[in-house]
Structures are given as C-alpha cells and as structure tokens.
Amino acid sequence: MNITQKINDAPMVYEVVTKARGVEEADFDDAVDDPIDSEEVYGLIRSINDPEHPLTLEQLHVANKEHIYVDDQVNHVLIEFTPTIPHCSMATLIGLCIRVRLLRSLPERFKIDIKVRQGTHQSEDQVNKKLNDKERVAAALENTYLLDVVNQCLATAA
C-alpha cells in the first residue's frame, strides 16, 4: 500500500488541552528518586505524528493518558491505543512508532507492552501479537523504508 493513499480521509480531530506539569525543586535534584509515571509516558507519545495525516496521536485521540499504565516498581509500561477506525491498516505502524519512541526514551529496565484497546480494531489480536513480538519488531525495524516512515512520524515528537 502506498502511504499517500488514505484509509480514513476525514478523521475526527479533537482539541488539544495542554496542561503544564508542576515543577518542584526536587525535580532538579539527582539524589531524589523520580519515578516514571503515566503522565511522563503520555508526554513522550502524544506528539507522535499519525502516518496518514499531519496530526498527532493526541489530536486524533489515538493516545490517551487514561490508557497508559506505568508501574515503576516492577519496570512495566502498558500502552493501549485506539485506532481512528476499526479497520485501520496503519494500526501496526502506529504501535511500532509508539514502541520505538519509548525504546529510545525510557530506561532499558522497562518492559513495554503496546496494545490496541479491546474492541476498537477488527484485527486487534493479530496487531497486538505483531507489536509485542521482539523478533517481528526487530525485523520491521531492519526494513529501511519502514524505519524512515517511523522516523518521520517521530520527527515532531517532543
């Protein structure tokens, strides 16, 4: 499929409400334990561009803070995302972009699970299997064209 062919020509675009996180003096002290939380992870993925549209995952409500679960104690992150349409052919690519962003940004100690929210995609089981199989992810990232598309989606990520 050519990436310029749009599956969803008119996605619903939502208003982005930016809420600044409070900064405390302890945030600058390296001696203070600063656990990673869902708000921090959301900040990493919200500005990823959608592969089909010049919009972010936040603007399309593909990524929501309420669907991010972080357990810093056991080093686990679970992201559940919602494709814009139930037959979205870009769901795997979106999940791959989220995974790459987190792999590049979070400490290596974290196990990252990426899933399509239950009931939001007609092939959610297959997409979830692809996104959480290390060999499939590694093979996808060896494809230079696919890696270029992922990097383009991540180019604007804050």
pTM: 0.83
Torsion (CA) 95, 99, 101, 104 in degrees, nearest 10: -170
State how far the alpha carbon of 119 is from the alpha carbons of 80, 88, 115, 122, 139, in Å: 11, 13, 11, 7, 27
pLDDT (0 to 100) of residue 84: 87
| Mean pLDDT, rounded, for 77-99 | 94
CA angle, 15 then 18 then 21, to 5° = 160
pLDDT digits (tens, 9 = 90+) for 28-63: 767 767 789 999 999 999 999 999 888 999 999 999
Distance between CA atoms of 116 and 83, rounded to whole angstroms? 7
CB 153 within 8 A of CB 51: yes
